[in-house]
Structure 1
Amino acid sequence: MRIDPRVAGFLSQALSHEMSVVQQYLTQASLCDCWGLGEQCAYFRREAGEELEHAGQIIRHMLLLGLAPNATRLAPVRPGRDLAEMLALDRQLELEAVRLYDDALRYSQRGRDGASSQLFAALLADEQHHLAELDRLLAELAEKEKHHG
């Protein structure tokens, strides 16, 4: 089977992105743990687990295509100095993921690559959900700050 090099590139980018986000969320979970923010620590650990599942789905797809998975371009961790900054930085990462998966989905649909399209569509939906959750958390935090600040 001939693998479209652009789809292979999207998959590589996706794996690097997901592993970067896992690293980011685990760092933030540890910071929240150090700060005594148990609920937020648990949130970031859950998110890291979801992103790790995404990485696993990408790896499986790459293996099925005969590609060697290799996340070579991990982004530097930017944990943030407080919860609001953490969530804002994570929102940027989720926006990047939405753009990446949207582009990858459109390209794989044009190339009639059903399996890759299905994977990218599922990842896109998950990342859009994460983005909405971050928007909700940021709005809640802003509301709390308004009443306590």
Structure 2
Amino acid sequence: MIKRDKSIELLNKAVAEEMTAVNQYMYFHILLEDMGYDYLAAYFKRTSIKEMIHVEKFAERILYLKGELELRASKGVQKIHDVKQMLELANKMELDTIQNYNEWAKICADESDAASKKLFEAILLEEEEHQDQFDTELDNMNNFGDNYLALQSIAHSKSAAKE
């Protein structure tokens, strides 16, 4: 096995970005659920879990390459309580990740590490889906404002009334 130091470095950077997303999105999930915005809360929870799976895939590749896994977030959780700002941050995080993974896939290819390149590309597709959904939710907030959030609160109230 050829140890690919540059690939290991990039894979650990990806782990750090994904851990940041796991923590940030779970934080948003908990806050949104408490606010009664069940749809957005559930979406952030699902996305956080998907990001956790990405951590696992990157970690497995690092270990396969005989690298040292650095399991830590690149940034701390940002304490945001405004729903629109939550969506803006999530959208920006995904856009940054997409840009990084595109660059890192190219570097892995240049380092003759096709498997790491493919891993970045596969996860990149999922990140694009997350970004698209956050962008859609942000558009809904911009187009419908408080009405968008009110609809979620009504749905929450109806489900609570059935219990």
TM-score (norm 1): 0.91
* Corresponding letter in the other structure for 2:111: G
1:68-115 Cα deviation digits (max 9, x unpaired):
211234311114222111010111111121121111101111222111
In structure 1, what is the equivalent of residue 117 of structure 2? 117
Q: Is the 8 A contact 2:15 2:59 kept in 1?
A: yes
1:15-69 Cα deviation digits (max 9, x unpaired):
0110111000110011012211112111111010110010010011111111121
Q: Tell me, in whole angstroms, the C-alpha distance in 2 between the residues paired with 1:6 and 1:138.
A: 36
1:147 deviation in Å? 7.2
1:120 deviation in Å? 0.7
In structure 2, what is the equivalent of residue 137 of structure 1? 137
In structure 1, what is the equivalent of residue 57 of structure 2? 57
Larger Rg: 1 or 2? 2
SS of equivalent to 2:140: helix
* Corresponding letter in the other structure for 1:140: N
Equivalenced residue count is 148
1:38 maps to 2:38: yes
Rate the CA distance shift 1:130–1:104 in 2: closer, same or farther, 3 A: same
Q: Tell me, in whole angstroms, the C-alpha distance in 2 between the residues paired with 1:20 and 1:98.
A: 15
In structure 1, what is the equivalent of residue 160 of structure 2? none
* Corresponding letter in the other structure for 1:63: L
Give runs of aligned pairs for residues 51-130 of structure 1, distance below 5 A: 51-130=51-130
Task: Give the 4+ runs in structure 1 shifted more than 6 A.
Answer: none
Identity fraction in percent: 25
Q: Tell me, in whole angstroms, the C-alpha distance in 2 between the residues paired with 1:19 and 1:146.
A: 31
Q: Tell me, in whole angstroms, the C-alpha distance in 2 between the residues paired with 1:40 and 1:129.
A: 15
Q: Is the 8 A contact 1:17 1:74 kept in 2?
A: yes
* C-alpha RMSD of the superposition: 1.7
In structure 1, what is the equivalent of residue 11 of structure 2? 11
